């Protein structure tokens, strides 16, 4: 079985020849640059990666194809990098690298000091409300953006071959983008005192997401590459460690209907694709709503969050959802445990989640800089011996 066949079988809830593995198929199932380099050197592999940082803000890279083959990843990613033309668009201020994202949020990174880029300013933070200042929101010129995006796609499509092709998002989700555009404290107040403005901003984000996906779909159709895309990947972190970030009913009234509009639009144009949603945290109360909105695949399956125990998720939602992630915890085991503890957890979760299909192995979120080479390879070796 090749990677495409393996993934297609499991997302259709049948057991493939082995548990599928995803490394770098999305920017939330990937690895940071330093963790990657240390892990590769530890095993005598090349530490080289795609020079075009797929997400410089998270310090996420795509390994060179030679290493993806050796690591037996069943997936390949296409889609915009988080900062298109990063090398051209980054700014050096003293010893700090500064970038502006899709909506003009300013991010800064000091090499040797910071682990990631930090958000330092929000474009609409200074205003009393959102609704009357939406015209001041920076947005890219779609003509030049489309040109840069298609350049990415033309390079990336060459790598898909017999692997599962995932078309990945370009920006964060409705709430995440809004939090950054307004500033975190201000946006949560907005949900109480300026709900009209909150929803108007959601509409702009939805409009831009539809434009982005239409650009990818138009390119796929005109280049006869639509069948190389099996999955489209979106995100929105709607959960904290012990609850949803807003009351579930508020999410049902505001965010989830817009997700449904987006996923319905994409599936109408590419009826064969499955929708992958990255949504961290304690989100069990809204999982039925996400399924109804068109979500087929849930990631990262943060089983340490409240009410997110894997046994219950598999039992209650395993017929409707593929669980993509949850293979090992990245908040404790993978970064702080021993190699034996990592191995034991990987085995336990494969035993629990693999039967009947509907499971793709990946850690809970990206492999971060604090993961040792020993623990990365304990995860990988156990997966390949046991899956």
Q: In this predicted model, what pLDDT tens digit does every residue of 231-285 receive, in sequence order? A: 999 999 999 999 999 999 999 999 999 999 999 999 999 999 999 999 999 999 9
The answer as to whether 268 is a domain residue is yes
Regarding pTM above 0.95, the answer is yes
The answer as to whether 212 is a domain residue is yes
User: Does residue 156 carry a pLDDT above 90?
Assistant: yes
The answer as to whether 114 is a domain residue is no
Q: Which range of residues forms the domain containing residue 356?
A: 3-85+124-386
The model's confidence at residue 10, banded by pLDDT at 50, 70 and 90, is very high
Task: Write out pLDDT tens, residues 187-197.
Answer: 999 999 999 99
The answer as to whether 294 is a domain residue is yes
User: Does residue 219 carry a pLDDT above 90?
Assistant: yes
DSSP-H helix ranges across the chain: 3-11, 33-42, 65-70, 86-89, 142-156, 174-182, 184-193, 195-222, 248-269, 287-292, 310-317, 333-336, 339-353, 373-386
The answer as to whether 96 is a domain residue is no
Domain count, the chain: 1
CATH number at residue 301: 3.20.20.210
Give the separation between CA 358 and CA 201, rounded to whole angstroms.
Answer: 35
- Do 281 and 237 touch, CB atoms closer than 8 A? yes
Task: Write out pLDDT tens, residues 306-342.
Answer: 999 999 999 999 999 999 999 999 999 999 999 999 9
User: Does residue 151 carry a pLDDT above 90?
Assistant: yes
The model's confidence at residue 52, banded by pLDDT at 50, 70 and 90, is confident
pLDDT of residue 387: 84
User: Does residue 140 carry a pLDDT above 90?
Assistant: yes
The answer as to whether 118 is a domain residue is no
The answer as to whether 248 is a domain residue is yes
Please give the mean pLDDT across all residues of the chain: 97
């Amino acid at each position: 079985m090749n990677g495409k066949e393996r993934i297609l079988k499991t997302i259709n809830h049948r057991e493939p020849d082995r548990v599928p593995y995803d490394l770098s198929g999305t920017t939330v199932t990937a690895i940071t640059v330093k963790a990657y380099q240390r892990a590769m050197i530890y095993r005598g592999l090349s530490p080289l990666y795609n020079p075009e940082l797929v997400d410089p803000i998270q310090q996420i890279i795509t390994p060179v194809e030679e290493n993806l083959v050796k690591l037996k990843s069943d997936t390949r990613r296409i889609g915009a990098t988080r900062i298109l033309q990063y090398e051209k668009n980054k700014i050096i201020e003293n010893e700090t690298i500064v970038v502006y994202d899709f909506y003009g949020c300013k991010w800064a990174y000091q090499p040797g000091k910071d682990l990631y880029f930090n958000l330092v300013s929000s474009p609409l933070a200074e205003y009393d409300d959102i609704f009357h200042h939406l015209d001041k929101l920076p947005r890219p010129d779609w003509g030049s953006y489309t040109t840069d995006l298609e350049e990415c796609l033309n390079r990336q499509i060459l790598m898909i071959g017999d692997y599962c092709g995932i078309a990945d998002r370009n920006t964060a989700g409705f709430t995440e983008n809004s939090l950054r555009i307004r500033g975190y404290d201000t946006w949560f107040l907005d949900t109480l005192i300026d709900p009209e403005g909150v929803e108007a901003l959601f509409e702009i984000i939805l409009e831009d997401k539809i434009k982005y996906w239409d650009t990818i779909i138009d390119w796929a159709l005109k280049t006869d590459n639509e069948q190389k895309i099996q999955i489209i990947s979106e995100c929105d972190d709607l959960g904290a460690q012990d609850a949803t970030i807003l009351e579930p009913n508020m999410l049902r009234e505001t965010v989830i209907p817009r997700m449904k509009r987006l996923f319905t639009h994409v599936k109408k144009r590419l009826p064969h694709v499955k929708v992958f949603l990255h949504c961290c945290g304690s989100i069990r109360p809204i999982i039925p709503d996400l399924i109804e909105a068109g979500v087929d695949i849930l990631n990262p399956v943060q089983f340490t969050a409240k009410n997110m125990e894997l046994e219950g998720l598999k039992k209650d939602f395993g017929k409707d959802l593929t669980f993509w992630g949850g293979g090992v915890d990245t908040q404790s085991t993978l970064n702080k445990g021993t190699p034996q503890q990592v191995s034991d957890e990987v085995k336990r979760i494969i035993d629990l989640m693999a039967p009947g299909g509907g499971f793709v192995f990946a850690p809970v979120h990206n492999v971060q800089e604090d993961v040792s080479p020993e623990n990365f390879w304990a995860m990988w070796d156990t997966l390949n011996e046991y899956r």
